[in-house]
Structure formats: structure tokens, C-alpha cells
Amino acid sequence: MTVKVLLTCVGGGLTPQVIRFLKNSKVHKNTKVYGVDMNSSATGKYFADYFQTVSNGKSKNFINQIIKICRKFKINLVIPGSDEDALNLSKNRKRIETNITKIACVPFNVLNILSNKSKTYNYLEKFNIPLPIWYTVKNQKELFSCIKKLIIKKRDIVIKPSVSRGGRNVYVISKKINKEIFRNDGREIELNLTIMKRKYLKKIKKIFPAIVMEKLYSPCFDFDMLCKDGKLIKGVTRRRINPTVPNDGHYVENRKDIFKIGEKISKCFKLTWLYDCDFMLDNMKKPKIIEVNPRMSGSAAVSVAAGIPLFDDLISIYKKKKI
């Protein structure tokens, strides 16, 4: 049986490896990969069996284009490559899915929580899952009130949007810093409270409602979670060589503490398919959740290169085969 996989957002740096691993599967032979992206020169274009430029993943037109591709080529499995794509696809599941076509993500009400850090943290707190000290702030008064609480607790502080992509608009406040330090291509700025008040308060107001939380510390971990009906089937912990740039490489490590947290996350959200969590360490060197992504990691190919056949397993879930 030929398996036809549709990947969205195929412009990522490791997309060629994802496509190669899918097409060269020794378990599911004759796998064909169809790719779509907003960029007509997306890297995946040159590796997929078929490529089409599509509209923004948030748009209605995007869904109409996906439906046409699925019907025309009899696509079996649609794998979202971005948060926006996952949310829109899941929201329109009834229009897309058929007896042969399935979307590799959980229902929209779950993804709606995962795509918002405030909602995610609130939900995870109910299940006693390790989180940083955090607050949601909606205005300037709440911002400085929460900053004061963290200063009293002798914590450095992170301010970031509740909903974001690519780690943008992140402010790290530390009394040890006497100037601005720009990281991750300027997406993250480290500075002290005085500089923040003088130069960045207006910009911070634009990201309300925002998360104010204690600063967590390197290393940064990506945790690939292959799940089925709320059970964590396989979990792979990857420690980033460069904490701010996932594609700079990873060490695959055996972190039982992170795996146990992953089991709880899979269970409380009743996850099926492949997802990604980001972890960092608190000041006691214990792992804490940064976020749970509503789709697979852009660097999940690293785990497959290390010998864990996550993409084969995804197709096995679709085919209802034993993993």
C-alpha cells in the first residue's frame, strides 16, 4: 500500500531530512510526500514528490487548498508543520477528514489551549506538573506588581507574550546587567529594570496579555512525544547545543525526570500523534515546562537520525498498526 503524506510549512531548515526519512522508510515502503508552503522557494519543494504554494495557514483559502490537494491525490495523513496550520486544520477537521484522510493532531479545543501559554500553564497546574513561578498580566500595574513579587523571591525575570512564535518579544530582566544584550537575532533582550522602564515599556505594553515568570536556565531541552490515546509511547529528550537555535544540533540524553513529566502531559491532554515540549532548569536544576507545542518539533528529524523511528510510528498510528 502506498502511503501519501501531506506536510505543511515545508520551509524549515530540517524539512529535507523529514521528507527523506519518510520516503526512505523501511517499515512503510512506497511512502510519497506532498509539501505545501507560503514560500514558492521553500526548501521542501526540492525534496517532495509534489509541491504547491498555498495561502497563509490562518486563512480560509488555505483550508480550501488543502481540501483540494487531499481529494486530488487521495492523501492519507496530513502533518501540520506550524502552530497556525495545526489550529486551522484541526478547526476544520470535519471538512478535511474522510475514511482515508486523517490529520495528525488532537481536537481544536486542546490545541487552542496548547497555543496559548497562559491557558497551558493554567491547565497543567491542575495536574501538578512542574512549572516556573509565573503570572499573567494585562496592564502596567499588574506588570510591576508581579515583577516586585519575583524580585522579593530573588528571581531574575522573563516577560514574554502569551501567544507567540519563534521566541519573539522576550525580555529578560536581571539586576546583574548594566546594558542591553541582544540574543537569538534580537528576538530576546537581556537588560535591567531601569533600562526596561526607560526604553521598552511601550513595546511591552503591546504584547499584553503577557507572561511574567521566573527566569529558567540552560541547558534547554526539546522533548519529542509520540502519543496514542493519552499514553506516551516514545519520548526523546534532546539537549540543545545552542539553547536559542534548535537546528545547531542536539545531544540525545536519557532524562527520566523529563520523561515522567511527558507521561503526565500526554495523559492530561489525552494526546495522540507527535508533539514537542520545551524544558529548561530552575535554580535548583529541576526541569520546568516552557511550552507544549501543538505539533511536532521542526527538529524532530534529529531524533530519527539518532535511531528512534518517530515518523514510521506516526504512519503506524494512522494504519492502526502495532508500534
4-17: pLDDT as tens digits: 999 999 999 999 99
- Beta pairing class for 77-79 and 102-103: parallel
pTM of this structure? 0.93
Q: Would you say how long the chain is, in residues?
A: 323
Q: Is the omega angle on the peptide bond into residue 309 within 30 degrees of 0, that is, cis?
A: no
Over residues 36-82, the pLDDT tens digits come to: 999 999 999 999 999 999 999 999 999 999 999 999 999 999 999 99
How far CA 83 is from CA of 112, 249, 312, 316, in Å, comes to 10, 22, 22, 23
Q: What percent of the chain has pLDDT over 90?
A: 92
Lowest mean pLDDT among 14-23, 135-144, 185-194, 229-238: 185-194
Q: What is the Cα–Cα distance from 245 to 247, expressed in whole angstroms?
A: 6
Q: What is the Cα–Cα distance from 212 to 193, expressed in whole angstroms?
A: 13
Query: Which has the closest alpha carbon to 135: 122, 124, 154?
Result: 122
Cell of 285: 536544576
Q: What is the Cα–Cα distance from 200 to 192, expressed in whole angstroms?
A: 11
- Is pLDDT above 80 for 167? no
- Is pLDDT above 80 for 165? no
pLDDT band for 247, please (50, 70, 90 cuts). confident
How far CA 76 is from CA of 47, 93, 103, 259, 315, in Å, comes to 19, 14, 9, 30, 9
Averaged pLDDT for residues 246-267:
95
Helix (H) or strand (E) holding 293: strand 287-293
Strand order across the 102-103 sheet: 50-53, 31-37, 3-8, 77-79, 102-103
Mean pLDDT score of the chain: 95
- Is pLDDT above 80 for 166? no
Question: Grid cell 492523501 — which residue?
Answer: 75
List b or e across 20-46, with b for residues whose CB sees 16 or more CB atoms inside 10 angstroms. bbbbebeebeebbbbbbbbeeebbbbe
